[in-house]
Structure 1
Amino acid sequence: MIRRSRFGIVAAAAVFGVAALGGCTLQTPSAVEDEEARERFVALLDDTQAAAGGSWSVRDDPTPRQCVIPLWVSGERFPALRLADGPASPTRAADRVEEAWREQGLEVTVMEVSNVIELKGESTVGELLLFRASDSAMTLTGESECRPVA
């Protein structure tokens, strides 16, 4: 069951700002090859879409974003953007996504802003996902873990 707290527009803006800065945190990369890390991230996105249901449009940006790995090693992470029409029940869609993320070991934060339910999922290797559901739309955005630039 989703536990929610109600916040105003200011709180939503603050959460968005913190999430946008997620690419600036220092995170040690996982011990897998770059391609395997990227495939794991894409699979996490695909699994999230399946849990939420609906028909999704994939609008991922193939251009990596700069990030920093401990000891100031240059790295890059890949962004994701997925869009879908509103679900029959935003609450049930969010419940399914929360359950799927927790099963995959993500730390999940849930917030309700007006009529939008937002879930933030963070993996132990620095992957960040944001899922939003309302009567009118669902969105899934995210960033892969920071990988060193070869």
Structure 2
Amino acid sequence: MDVVERTTASIGGEWSVYSGPAAESCDRAGAAPGARWSYIVERVAPAGVDPAVDVERVEQAWEEQGIAVERSESGAADPLLGVRGSGGPVTSIGFNAFPQRYSVTGESTCFDGSVDDLRGVGEG
């Protein structure tokens, strides 16, 4: 969640939660199942801003956090831009700088924990 929030702060503007933060189960090699967080935020794309500049800001913010980055773009004449990341504090993270909508989708690394405990199942 922290990486998603740092990402949106690097770009600025008002973001809204699309999904999460949500606890999900995950498998860890040679260990009991664990948990991870997923989180998706979005905003209306800013008018008059070059999306490539925001992609560069996100790349820099992620690299500073030890995340390996890879740019993506569609093959259209006016390509849709984005960047994907992995490693460091996340399993995966993505930023899409589409003309109508920006979005950041993050998934934390798998950690010791129970999804039921994180969701508060059985409390009452």
More strand by share: 2
Equivalent runs, 1:86-101 vs 2, <5 Å: 86-87=45-46, 88-101=49-62
CA distance in 2, matches of 1:108, 1:63: 24
Q: Identity over aligned residues, as a percent?
A: 28
Check if 1:80 corresponds to 2:80: no
SS in 2 for 1:139: strand
Shift of the 58–85 alpha-carbon distance from structure 1 to 2, 3 Å rule, reads same
Equivalent residue, structure 2, for 1:48: 7
State the Cα distance separating 1:126 from its structure 2 match: 4.2
Give structure 2 stretches of 5+ with no counterpart.
Answer: 115-124
Check if 1:71 corresponds to 2:36: no
Q: For 1:91-130, what per-residue CA distance to the aligned partner results, in whole angstroms no more than 9, with x for missing partners?
A: 1111111111111111001111133212111123543111
Asked if the contact 1:78–1:143 (Cα under 8 Å) also holds between the matched residues in 2, the reply is yes
Amino acid at match of 2:104: L
Give structure 1 stretches of 5+ with no counterpart.
Answer: 1-41
Shift of the 63–95 alpha-carbon distance from structure 1 to 2, 3 Å rule, reads closer
Q: Which of 92, 95, 100 is 1:136 aligned to?
A: 100
User: Aligned residues, how many?
Assistant: 109
Task: Give the root-mean-square deviation of aligned CA atoms.
Answer: 1.7
State the Cα distance separating 1:133 from its structure 2 match: 0.2
* TM-score, normalised via structure 1 length: 0.66
Check if 1:110 corresponds to 2:74: no
CA distance in 1, matches of 2:6, 2:21: 20
